[in-house]
Amino acid sequence: MLNQDIIREATRLTRAGLLVEATALLQRMLSGQNAPDAPSRAGGRIALREPLIIDAEANAVEATDSHPQSRPAISAQPRTLRASLDRKERRSGIGLRGLKRSPLSTPDIVPEGARFIEGTYSSAAGSRAHRLFIPSRYQERPLPLIVMLHGCTQSPDDFAAGTRMNFIAEEQNCFVVYPAQPSHANHAKCWNWFRSADQQRGRGEPSLIAGITRQIMDDYSIDRTRVYVGGLSAGAAAAAIMGATYDDLYAAIGIHSGLACGVATDLPSALVAMRQGGSSPKAISGDRPSVPTIVFHGDRDTTVHPNNGGQILDQSVSTMRTQKQVHRGQVPGGHSYTRTILSDATGRGMLEHWNIHGAGHAWSGGSPAGSYTDPRGPDATREMLRFFLEHSLSEE
């Protein structure tokens, strides 16, 4: 098939609800492989030459010197032939071996003296569970709140362990809430950032995430001017959507290995954006100033192309005048990085981009207790929270 034919066929399969088959066709096209012959119908289903299975298991990934752990932002890895995939992984250096990870323990997730409790939010849009971190020094004085959106196949506990956000939040005396995406909403527990219905204020997943945020704000003493949202991969793309659609709720956003709001509206465009960067994203917020944003992206990310990090900044810069500073650094024994700071006319940093050299699709500076982390830094959690606390809605 020609590429245009593949895209048309993948779009048709997506509309028919056959996301597995659509994903397989697009992955073959984007990786430069020959697409299979046109699919035929067998028993009312699309039948391809090989059985197609979406690998939605949260396998541990063995990091190598060239590539840390990797997981797609929409978990679109067809597992047709294990031996073929193993050969591809050995060539790429990613090293997906399906290694078993030890069960998480409480000390990996929450510091002593603090609490990590379960909750649920429900509305007309649906229901989502979440986990809430309450710092040990909480005594009814209004505190900041950070909303953390996990990546595909992850859970709140896993994401908390990998980022260690609870430990940094304990130091800074902040609440952290981790909404959970269930498998019935997405087979691989990805936030559906690539669907138009989940990119709008007051609808779909954005309304659920905002609802969880407001529920915590009502139930606890939260500083309403210092509420923030961040995420990894699919969760980062969802965080970008939250910043664009709820700029009256969040004072700043953090995007790690993610994509800008509006670069995709369906599965085919999502896979293209992940592979090479999307088309110029529209600024959902119109002419209003963009929410302060910090971006982290590895320049060897083979899951979400590093171009996407730059597009997030381009989307924001289009609505403001900025001054640019560039700093370069090196983590002892770890990655080097280029940090670009864009400040407004008053000199206040509004946008930060951390380009992490040699890093792949993993949380920078994270703990190996969680999945998809790269402990060789820099420390994205500490820097993200530092950036958050520099901003409040009253200042914007």
Name the percent of the chain lying above pLDDT 90.
Answer: 61
Question: What are the backbone angles phi and psi of residue 147, rounded to the nearest 5°?
Answer: -100, 125
Mean pLDDT of the chain: 80
pLDDT of residue 17: 54
pLDDT of residue 345: 80
Residue 156 CA to residue 128 CA, distance in Å, equals 12
pLDDT of residue 178: 98
Question: What distance, in Å, lies between the first and last C-alpha atoms of the chain?
Answer: 51
Looking at beta carbons, which pairs linking 3-9 to residues 24 or more positions away fall under 8 Å? 3/29, 6/35, 7/268, 9/38, 9/39
Residues contacting 296, CB < 8 A, separation 6+ = 254, 255, 256, 257, 309, 354, 356, 364, 380, 383, 384
Q: pLDDT at residue 24 above 90?
A: no
The model scores a pTM over 0.95 = no
Report cis status (omega within 30 of 0) of the bond before 378.
yes
Exposed (0-12), middle (13-18) or buried (19+): which is 265, by Cβ within 10 Å?
A: middle
Amino acid in the structure at residue 29:
M
Of these ranges, 47-51, 132-136, 312-316, the one predicted with the greatest mean pLDDT is 132-136
- Using alpha carbons only, how large is the chain's radius of gyration in Å? 20
Name the percent of the chain lying above pLDDT 70.
Answer: 69
pLDDT of residue 314: 76
CB contact at 8 A, 271 and 74 = yes
Exposed (0-12), middle (13-18) or buried (19+): which is 15, by Cβ within 10 Å?
A: exposed
**Span 382-392, mean pLDDT?**
97
pLDDT of residue 20: 58
- Helices marked H in the chain: 3-15, 19-30, 82-92, 106-109, 156-163, 165-172, 204-219, 234-245, 267-276, 307-317, 380-389
**Span 302-326, mean pLDDT?**
82
pLDDT of residue 58: 32
CB contact at 8 A, 314 and 283 = no
Write out the H or E segment, with its range, that includes residue 231: strand 222-232
Reported confidence tier of residue 316, pLDDT bands at 50, 70, 90: low
pLDDT tens by residue, 43-78:
333 333 332 222 223 333 333 333 444 555 775 443
Residue 388 CA to residue 226 CA, distance in Å, equals 8
CB contact at 8 A, 229 and 293 = no
CATH class, range 113-389: alpha beta
Q: Per the structure block, which two tokens stand in for 132?
A: 């809430």
Q: Per the structure block, which two tokens stand in for 19?
A: 């996301």
Go through 89-121 and write b for each residue having 16 or more CB atoms within 10 A of its CB, e for each that does not.
Answer: beeeebbbeeeeeeebeeebbbbeebebeeeeb
What residue spans define the domains of the chain? 3-52, 113-389
pLDDT of residue 394: 79
pLDDT tens by residue, 195-207:
999 999 999 999 9
pLDDT of residue 35: 45
**Which stretch of 8-22, 89-103, 106-120, 239-253 has the lowest confidence by average pLDDT?**
89-103
Give the orientation angle of helix 19-30 with respect to helix 267-276, to 10 degrees. Answer: 30
pLDDT tens by residue, 324-361:
899 999 999 999 999 999 998 888 889 999 999 999 99
**Span 230-254, mean pLDDT?**
97
